[in-house]
Chains A and B, each alone.
Chain A
Amino acid sequence: MTAVSPGVDAASLRDVRSSRRGDRVFSGVTVVAGALVFALLGAIAVFLVVKAMPALQHDKSSFWTTKIWDPDATGRYGVAALVFGTVLSSVLALAMAVPVALGVAVYTVEYAPRRVGRFLGYLTDMLAAVPSVVYGLWGLFFLLPHLVGTQTFLNRWLGWIPLFSGAHGDVNTFSKSVFAASVILAIMVLPIVAAISREVIGQVDPAQKEAALALGATRWEMLRTAVFPPSRPGIVSAVMLGLGRALGETIAVALVIGNTFDISAHVLTPGGNTIAANIANRFGEAGALGRSALIASGLVLFVITLLVNLIARYVIYRSGVEERSAAV
């Protein structure tokens, strides 16, 4: 664009030079901005490690195995129960959210008329717009009491599965539990998984779908043979991104989970905790070592979510699917 033709006068040469300088300055500024992203992520990792060190060194032997959180009084604390609760509640949430998210994505793209589908897409995204603290408040005062019936039902009919059995045979004390947290998480993860799945499913080549229908396939057979196989990498990454979100969700979980420190797979009984919820609940009362210990637990959460997100991105990049949704 700045090629100089023969016979240009000095003024236009100066123009070209100044525009080149402008280009250099401008591109330099954008490079610095890009480098800041690098620096920021580096700083996050470094400062978390530095401020977690006192707690990690103080409790070298048992940080990974201790199931108690009492750094300031007795100096005993560990992330064992927290990591377990975080993973359990998130996996349970995905088990509930993913089928529904896929169903609603398929419905909005393949079943609903185009205009209706777009509107339903907005509504689904609206679920993601509700702040997590509102979900927490709603979960605490609306969902918890209304969930007792479901919990009783699950316990009575599926109680033979250890997941749904009562820890001590007490089945009528359902309240703040891993199950309640999972339901809230499922509602919050649902729009994310649905939005990406919608994009991915919408990108399937219409010719493939029409070919399947022309061969006499029913709509479901068309979905199974022409839509799901090419969408699989995108859906897998959607699920992983949803998992990342569920693992790190804080406030909503903090309000509806039991805040106890035991490793128990009985999700219906009161109790449970997650790394993020523990930070929110214990931060106010934490002393110096307590804060350091909370930062150390946050570091663990950071690493876990980082791994999950890296896997999700890897799946996306490898498959070449363009998923870019405002909801994510």
Chain B
Amino acid sequence: MTADASSAGLRSRGLTARTLPRPVVAGAALAAVAVTFLLFAVTPLQGVADFLVAATVLAILTVTGLTLAVEGRRRAVDRLATSGALIALVLTLLPLGFTLGYTAYRGTKRLTGNFLTHSMAGVGPFSPNGGIYHAIVGTLEQVLIASLIAVPLGLLVAIYVTEYGRNAFGTAIRFLVDVMTGIPSIVAGLFVLAFWVLALHKGFSGFAGSIALAILELPIVVRSAEEMIRLVPAALREASYALGVPKWKTILRIVLPTAATGITTGVMLAIARVTGETAPVLLVVGNNFYINTNPMKGPQASLPLYIFQGAGSSSNLDVDRAWAAALTLILIVVVLYVAARLLTRRNSLRR
């Protein structure tokens, strides 16, 4: 440190500013935890959650205070921000862990082969038997039909928006699709109730549920397909045009196959999303304890609906079955989700 630097008052902010070694920081945090432990041992404070919260707060206060004293205000604020970000991460992962963990814990009790292959037909109020076969059949059919409606339609809309819609109409549709993503699922259900069940007198059916699910699935498919189609390099298209291939054939043979992996990912995520939707299904499929394989006629069961009704039941047997059904539903959704993510890795199109 030279004389003129110190005379200018730069000493504390120079390159040799005092810094806390890492072990000291870690030590201070550990000391705070130890003090908290002592507090909980001596005073009437108790509880695991309380201990964790108190220890975290005390550790952050200690470390920040120490930094403030040694390194100055700016570094102290920086440390505080880092701690804040870390706490946010923990607060995000905690509910994920607790939801998945607790569902697995409660669900495995009843989740057996018998549970998966039997319906609730003839299951008395005090019988621990019964299963979700009818609900799985219902959900699979409803989601399949919804996807058969939403995926082709969504692809066409995405193609229009990206390839043909460079005009006011195209912009308007893009905007409306964005607005559609915000439609609450219960409103989609109410629409189908008002339109299909009440106005057209079609009654409750699995297909009515499919329409509602398709409304929710459509914007997700459009947006992901749109994004993927936009990522297809212009050079590919131009090469095709240069060979005299018409635009529609270029789209079908060059653009869509190139974007196929990404589009599939988006479709799988969309399916994962609507598989767990309860609100629209609740209003229009009816519910049924028996196996109804015909989605066009008569009330059908559905996995989310089964869980909802089990949750609201006063019977512990129903609640146990609801947990097992919830575990099944989560497994289906997570498998779809992970598969979609793994597929993303194979996607050659990147932003």
Contact = CB atoms under 8 A, between A and B. Distances in A.
Contact of A133 (B157, B159, B227, B308): B308
Nearest to A248: B184
B312 interface: yes
A2 B250 CA distance: 13
A34 B165 contact: yes
Interface string A106-127: 1110110000000010111111
A31 interface: yes
Interface string B49-83: 11000000000000000000000001101101110
A313 B153 contact: no
A99 B81 CA distance: 12
A241 interface: yes
Contact of A149 (B47, B188, B311): B47
B176 A107 contact: no
Contacts of A122: 341
Interface in A99-155: 99-104, 106-108, 110-111, 120, 122-127, 129-138, 140-142, 146, 149
Contact of A298 (B163, B190, B266): B190
B209 to A, nearest CB: 14
Contacts of A108: 89
A1 interface: yes
Interface stretch (B26-34, B97-105, B119-127, B288-296): B97-105
Interface residues of B, number: 106
Contacts of A241: 182
B184 A276 contact: yes
Nearest to B99: A138
A283 interface: yes
Interface in A203-222: 218-221
Interface stretch (B3-11, B109-117, B140-148, B240-248): B240-248
Per DSSP, chain A at the interface is helix
B190 A48 contact: yes
A280 B282 contact: yes
A34 B266 CA distance: 19
Contacts of A328: 181, 223
Contacts of A47: 191, 194-195, 199
B278 A131 contact: yes
Contacts of A312: 182
Contacts of B180: 37, 40-41
A58 interface: no
A123 B99 contact: no
Interface stretch (A22-30, A67-75, A167-175, A264-272): A22-30
10 contacts: A29-B156, A48-B191, A134-B326, A187-B99, A220-B78, A220-B80, A249-B184, A295-B193, A309-B179, A310-B179
Interface of B: 47, 49-50, 74-75, 77-78, 80-82, 84-89, 91-93, 95-96, 98-100, 102-103, 106, 153, 156-157, 159-161, 163-165, 169-170, 172-173, 175-188, 190-191, 193-195, 198-199, 215, 218, 220, 222-224, 227, 241-242, 244-249, 251-252, 265-266, 269, 272-273, 275-279, 282-283, 304, 307-308, 310-312, 319, 322-323, 326, 329-330, 333-334, 337, 341
